[in-house]
Amino acid sequence: MIAIFISLATTTPPQFIAVAPSIILPVTIKKSKKLGCVTYEVRNITNREVGDVRATYQNYKGKVGDKLVTNSLKTGKTKLFELCNSSLINVGAGKYNN
């Protein structure tokens, strides 16, 4: 006797909430003059110019978001940005610029 099992379970495709940046960049903390804010300095330590540099953060309500820091950052250069009432998760670039 041959038994055949038919699965009625349905599968749903995976849902992506956020895509991690492909190039993680180092960040240092600077003192901010604004209450409840922190100034960060991101540095491009790669050997190429990077683009679409974004900071991923979590705000005081727990919502995760991202903020465009700069469209382009050359090798060895830095860029300052500020977050208020939020915690920094990471800073990354989405691509290398040619």
Q: What is the pLDDT of residue 73?
A: 96
User: Which residues, including other chains, have CB under 8 Å from residue 83's CB and lie 6 or more apart?
Assistant: 37, 38, 40, 55, 57, 67
Q: Which of 71, 63, 65, 73 is nearest to 41 (CA)?
A: 73
Enumerate the domain spans of the chain.
Answer: 23-96
pTM: 0.75
Q: What is the pLDDT of residue 97?
A: 79
CA distance 27 to 9: 46
Regarding the domain delimited by 23-96, which CATH topology (the fold level of the hierarchy) does it fall under? Immunoglobulin-like (2.60.40)
From first to last of its 98 residues, the chain has per-residue pLDDT tens of: 444 444 444 455 554 445 555 799 999 999 999 999 999 999 999 999 999 999 999 999 999 999 999 999 999 999 999 999 999 999 999 888 77
| 3-state class percentages of the chain: helix first, strand second, coil last, to nearest 5 | 0, 50, 50
Residues for the chain: how many in total?
98
